[in-house]
Chains A and B, each alone.
Chain A
Amino acid sequence: MIRFKPGNLRVPRFQRPVYVVAAGTTDYRKHYPERKLEELTMMAFKMLLEENDLKADPLETKGLINMAVYGEFADHFQDQLLCEAKVHDYLGLDPLPNIGIKTGGATGGYSVLVGANSIASGYSNCTLVMGWERMDEVDTRTGNFYISTAACKDFETRLARMYASYYAPMARRFAHVFKVKEEIRAAIAVKNKGYALMSPFGHGGKKLTVEEVLAGRIACDPLHMDECCLMSVGSAAMLLCDEDTAYKLSDHPMRLNICGGTHTLRVADRRNLEVPLLPNETPGMYDWMEKKLNEPYPGFQSFLASRFAAYMAYRMAGVWGDPCDELDLVELHDAFTISDLQTYGDIGLRPYGKEEEYITSGDAYYGGRCPSNLSGGLLGTMHAVGATGVFQGVECFWQLQGKYDKFHGDPGMWERYGKKKPKDWQSLQIPKRRRALWISHAGVGSHVTCGILTNPREVKG
């Protein structure tokens, strides 16, 4: 039993406000032989400097950067140690300091967290955060094996060499405990792959029905292939600044709060714990879980790391009410449909045990109370692991700035990546633009960050 002491539960507080000022990305592909990795990072960097309506010209903006934080999931994929040095030099940022971050699927999120701390502490006034992954040097099954080495190599990896096999037991237990039908998971795949069709950056958009998802090939039962994320190549970037620099560069920066959480690498080692309550939850509301169901928390059905990160981030960002009312967009780590579904309870989009209502109520859809993964997510648009947690934040940032159409609807953006804008393209620009949240998530919940962007024009304080 983990016992929190008061010091463990101190809510993080930045010493000064941190803002996101600009963002950039490449498109994402299963195979990207046209560009070397550092050439891809340059694409994302140039978009960040040149296409965000900044008040300074690109090189003047670059001249404000004090440090860089780089996210890369696995050296296995790049087959290049110290890739950070190669990229940093290629971007022309030497001799500024840079640091590499590696926290599995949450690498992007933790890169943003470290970047934010560099601003908050005063070390830097302007920090570049960039993530990437080149997953096409090996075939898909070898890629799956590489990823499975992010399970415990002594006790888990050999049992499948496939990450879906570590999520599938959670899907089965979740369905068993909360009596959730597989159609709910399939609906998540349909939704996110559908939204990906609106993204010029994606490579897994598909028009699907629930029936088609469930009739598809199984990866690891009960997870179907369409319930599993993409394996991508690409890079994403974000520019973080202190308040003075932010407004020097932009009329419309977004305030950033971000917190992290962790839990065991092996689901096997999770011990029973009292549920840490989100600000809008009440003591005793989860007593039924242990008393009626005799089910441990977080067990195989929830992610303590996500709950802990949200517990902190809501308090840090002042999200005191129902998250569905206070957030206008969430971008979740839908590496598998089940991880998406589990997260709804962890971050309070619904109370634990009622996760499926977030889908069935329509809240999760465009036009709903708090839509999720309008970017297309990891299921539909991209999962270039080190870039993912940055890319999700990038999408939130542009949404809050009201620039979804600029980056997704311009035919030139589609042509840039050799694509044609679909005739039935539809804007997914959110109408209310107060706050957006994104979750970056690793392992079977080993590392998670919860980032919250707040629009200063809409939310005071």
Chain B
Amino acid sequence: MPKSKTRNPKSKTLPEIQFTGVPMKVERTEPAMVIEWPRSLVHHHTYGLLSPFFEGLKQGVLRATHCTTPGCEKGYWLPPRADCPDCHARMEWHEFRNPVVGEVFTFTHVEYPGHGIEISYPYYQIDVKIPGCCTVMKGYLVRGKAKIGMKVKARFRKKDPTNTILDLYWEPAD
């Protein structure tokens, strides 16, 4: 990035301020002036207390949380959450034994995804009911055709993980 010219300490005049950016492209002038305004950003996003879940995916392990307070929800939370919404106690981690088999509760065939999609499409996005869970986990099917009630098995992207939820995916269990 260009800097202002170094100031001569003996000089009494301040250096002229320079434009250091990139000129915006004019896209159109009618019916009004419209410019192209590029945006490129990096966020530093934490998984916080859910880090064990995302670490688990890389190790080929599916982890959920559950509350041990009597009277609270008995099922496992998946997606996990660190704190119980009913009694506010810190939940405990549970590790599912592989193979983790669930059932397709509902699904969609995604033909028109949004900008930046990171998996090839069209593909089946599935909502999976896992025995013991009080929730229904969203995921995607890597092969086969989805159907309500079909059994699916969890798989993990251990090699070249994306470090996102895309490291968990499903395939037909049979």
Contacts and interface: CB of A to CB of B under 8 A. Distances in A.
B168 to A, nearest CB: 9
B117 A268 contact: no
Contact of A162 (B37, B114, B140, B164): B114
B108 interface: yes
A79 B138 contact: no
B85 to A, nearest CB: 9
A161 B138 contact: no
A300 B108 contact: no
Interface string A1-31: 1000000000000000000000000000000
Contact of B107 (A158, A169, A270): A169
A139 interface: yes
A interface bracket (residues with beta carbon within 8 Å of B)? 35 or more
A268 B138 contact: yes
B49 to A, nearest CB: 12
Given A170-B106, A271-B73, A141 B125 contact: no
Interface residues of B, number: 40
Nearest to B134: A271
B110 A165 contact: yes
B114 A160 contact: yes
A165 B106 contact: no
B105 interface: yes
A172 B107 CA distance: 7
A169 B116 contact: no
Nearest to B137: A268
Contact of A161 (B45, B113, B137): B113
Nearest to A148: B114
B173 interface: no
A161 B117 contact: yes
A176 B115 contact: no
A217 B158 CA distance: 36
7 contacts: A79-B39, A154-B50, A155-B138, A160-B114, A162-B113, A162-B117, A221-B110
Interface of A: 1, 33-35, 79, 137, 139, 141-142, 144-145, 147-148, 152-156, 158-162, 164-165, 168-173, 176, 217-223, 225, 266-271, 300
Interface of B: 28, 31-32, 34, 37, 39, 45, 47, 50, 73, 77-79, 105-118, 125, 127, 134-140, 148, 164-166
Given A144-B115, A148-B114, A155-B138, 5 more contacts: A34-B32, A156-B138, A159-B140, A160-B110, A172-B148
